[in-house]
Chains A and B, each alone.
Chain A
Amino acid sequence: AQKITQTQPGMFVQEKEAVTLDCTYDTSDPSYGLFWYKQPSSGEMIFLIYQGSYDQQNATEGRYSLNFQKARKSANLVISASQLGDSAMYFCAMREGREWGNKLVFGAGTILRVKS
């Protein structure tokens, strides 16, 4: 079974508007972490935001926020005020367990295109 599911292969958003990228996950471990990474065409993986399973509040980092719905096992990324430079592939990932050295499992990714 897929541990991380991203159902949107591609998304378009108008510049300056907000966009939500969907991510659902599956785990039986009560301790886990959820990550979002951005991968531009150059290939580098850029860390955006992190949400721990025990965190009470939704994570925010600048224009990025994570809509964490624990009961629904969803961790959607919200990008506000989209910019042309936001065009990239976005990956949701999960780490199971408490150890920060544990491996990440990635979703299939969503290609975001920002239109001017």
Chain B
Amino acid sequence: GAVVSQHPSWVICKSGTSVKIECRSLDFQATTMFWYRQFPKQSLMLMATSNEGSKATYEQGVEKDKFLINHASLTLSTLTVTSAHPEDSSFYICSAGGGNNSPLHFGNGTRLTVT
């Protein structure tokens, strides 16, 4: 079945540094990928829609300059958390669709801790 790979699975960084998270579709091409954020015991909140070859579409309240999204190819989208602060600590998870009649598949998520 369709597989989405996300890397790294966890990262600890110092406040003020930037962190890049990769999301790859392994056996299908994805013109659209989605980035979600999840706080403990809460739901997934959509941050942005990543569009191959064009600018990402951000949800209301999400700072586009802080959460940089690049979708340079049909199999890779990256989320960069710039100048990270402790409040950015969260679980970030990406998803991509496998095409018609296929549900969105999710990466295994990245647990970010900013110290």
Q: Which A residues have a C-beta under 8 Å from some C-beta of B?
A: 35, 37, 42-45, 47, 50, 89, 91, 95, 100-101, 103-109, 111
Q: Report yes or no: B103 in contact with A43, Cβ–Cβ below 8 A.
A: no
- With beta carbons under 8 angstroms apart, the residue of B43, B102, B111 that contacts A100 is B102
Nearest-Cβ distance from residue A50 to partner chain B, whole angstroms: 5
Query: How far apart sit A101 and B93, CA to CA, in the bound complex (Å)?
Result: 16
- Tell whether A104 pairs with B104 under 8 Å between CB atoms, given A43-B111, A91-B44: yes
Nearest-Cβ distance from residue A56 to partner chain B, whole angstroms: 16
Q: Report yes or no: A47 in contact with B34, Cβ–Cβ below 8 A.
A: no
Q: Report yes or no: A103 in contact with B108, Cβ–Cβ below 8 A.
A: no
Does B60 reach chain A (CB closer than 8 Å)?
Answer: no
CB neighbours of B32 from chain A (8 A): 101
Q: Report yes or no: B95 in contact with A43, Cβ–Cβ below 8 A.
A: no
Query: How far apart sit A101 and B31, CA to CA, in the bound complex (Å)?
Result: 8
Could you mark each residue 25-57 of chain B with 1 if its beta carbon is under 8 Å from any beta carbon of chain A, else 0?
000000110100000011111100100000000
- Tell whether A105 pairs with B46 under 8 Å between CB atoms, given A43-B91, A44-B106, A45-B95: yes
Find residues 64-104 in chain B having any chain A CB closer than 8 Å to their own CB: 91, 93, 95, 97-104
Q: Report yes or no: A106 in contact with B91, Cβ–Cβ below 8 A.
A: no
- Tell whether A104 pairs with B34 under 8 Å between CB atoms, given A44-B108, A45-B95: yes
Chain A residue, CB-CB nearest to B93: A45
Nearest-Cβ distance from residue A44 to partner chain B, whole angstroms: 5
CB neighbours of A106 from chain B (8 A): 43-45
Q: Report yes or no: B43 in contact with A108, Cβ–Cβ below 8 A.
A: yes
CB neighbours of B99 from chain A (8 A): 100
Q: Report yes or no: A100 in contact with B95, Cβ–Cβ below 8 A.
A: no
25 CB contacts below 8 A, A to B, read A35-B103, A42-B108, A43-B91, A43-B93, A43-B108, A43-B109, A44-B108, A45-B44, A45-B106, A47-B104, A91-B43, A91-B44, A100-B97, A100-B98, A100-B99, A100-B102, A101-B31, A103-B34, A103-B46, A104-B34, A104-B104, A106-B43, A107-B43, A108-B42, A109-B42
Nearest-Cβ distance from residue A64 to partner chain B, whole angstroms: 13
CB neighbours of B45 from chain A (8 A): 106
